[in-house]
Structure 1
Amino acid sequence: MKKKYLKSDHQTFICGKTEHHCIDAIPLFQSLTAEQKEKIHPLIQHKHFLRGETLYRPGQIADSLYVLKSGTTRIYRLADTGKEQLIRIVTPGEFTGELALFKEGIYEAFSEALSDCFVCAIKHSDFRELLLQYPSISVEMLATIAKRLATSEQQTAWATTETVKDRLLHFLISLADPKEIEPIVELKMAKKNLASYLGTTSESLSREFARLEKEKIIKEISYGKIKLLDFP
């Protein structure tokens, strides 16, 4: 079937049988049968965002759950001072916009496309019905939200009780496989986003990377790939 593009100010809605199967590779729906997935397809809006465009922003009415088909987005907040705090990076198969799922409200953070993105959007009202029909989706979503909550609490603890050096080291350790003697970890975000995530500046983060490398605790073997030399 030939694709049909309907353009709006900042996104492209895609219609066509092939695109309707965007949920097939999304973990949130993997417990469903092919027949059950087919029933969900008509509820999905397929959206395209270019790099730098905003999926949603604070103050906007929260009415949809966004599941990322391809690309990468970041979720962040702005303090009254203008300082940015990165909350998380969203990668393909993950979802965002769930915080207002069970109440009428507005988005409280920004979601920005870090690359061109294709998104499956489902209205909150429709998704609530899916949760009632298919409890397995509820279980999968609760597990993801619980993991995010634990990560958020850890992030807060790092920012309030530890030095930048300790925050960085603990973050790198959290990415490592404890079974490896000198594990190599790969950063999933640019260093400027990592600085925001750890509650510091890019300059301070660069200094701590250099300090850890000088102390032979880590070694940057290529951009974004770090070997932990002194792994507890």
Structure 2
Amino acid sequence: MLVEFLRKFPIFSGLNDEEFEHIERISVKRSYQPRMFVFMEGDEREAVFFIKTGLVKAYKIDETGNEQVISLLQSGDMFPHVGFFDQSPYPATVEVVQETELVVIRIADFDKLLIQYPQMTIKVMKVMGKKILDLQERIQGFISKDVHYRLTHALMKLAAEQGVKKGNGIYINFPITNQDFANMVGTSRETINRTLNEMKKKKLISSDRNGIIIHDMSGLNKYTR
């Protein structure tokens, strides 16, 4: 049931059973194949999306035309993070990486629901305000770190979210290029090449065409200290 899925999201914490029934009535499911776009940066903001299954990436294009990956989002994530209360255009492009099923709530439908049930507005806005502050703090802390830290953090996050056990290691089972990593952590591809090669020489990781294997999680974790 959609209600049980939506209960997992902090934005809806505090809602009672009747309020969840209203949310379920305005929710629809959509399926996407790899390389499909959910929306493009600058498009009119029409809906908020909740990932039931799959993987998507959010990115922006900088002044030089390069792709800047903001985040990889998976089952249990919602996007855009600002949610329902910002009327500005979508702040980034979201592209599907793996076959994905989304639960979609149109902002217009949600607005009508909040007008009809104003007590829901207070509950949802309190949660969103805290979420945005937490996100700002995490971003500020992340950008102050060096490339080794940022890349290691990205690898460990991917391992936690997408990794599967393979022998004594953890396999991140989808293709991600060095340029993807460079975009994700805000550096050049050459710097990522050097850093990944260093990790490979130390036998912390290895890679193939389909993904990356982390052989020594504790050794890799030293880069984040």
Aligned with 1:152 (options 139, 158, 162): 139
Over 3 Å counting, the alpha-carbon distance change for 1:102 and 1:32 in structure 2 is closer
Cα deviation per residue 1:45-99 (whole Å; 9 max; x = unaligned)?
A: 3222221111111221112111111111111000121111111111112111243
Does structure 1 conserve the Cα–Cα contact (< 8 Å) formed by 2:82 and 2:128? Answer: no
Change (3 A) 1:202 1:140: same
Determine the C-alpha separation between the residues in 1 that align with 2:43 and 2:91: 8
**Does 1:133 find its partner at 2:116?**
no
Residue equivalent to 2:15: 32
Alignment of 1:47 with 2:37, yes or no, is no
Counterpart position of 2:197: 210
> What is the CA distance between 1:171 and its match in structure 2?
5.3
Specify the alignment match of 1:227 in structure 2. 217
**Aligned-CA RMSD value:** 3.6
Letter in 2 for 1:219: L
Partner of 1:138: helix, strand, or coil? helix
User: What secondary structure, in the 3-state scheme, does the structure 2 residue paired with 1:62 have?
Assistant: coil
How far residue 43 of structure 1 moved from its aligned partner, in angstroms, is: 1.3
Task: Count how many residue pairs are aligned between Structure 1 and Structure 2.
Answer: 203
Give the TM-score normalised by the residue count of structure 1. 0.69
The higher-RCO structure (CA 8 Å, 6+ apart) is 2
Residue identity over aligned pairs, in percent, reads 21
| Structure with the largest fraction of helix | 2
The residue aligned with 1:12 is none
TM-score, structure 2 normalization: 0.71
The 3 A distance-change label for structure 1 pair 23 and 165 is: closer
Which AA in structure 2 matches 1:228?
S
8 A contact 2:31–2:101 mirrored in 1: yes
Distance 2:118 2:213 in 1: 42
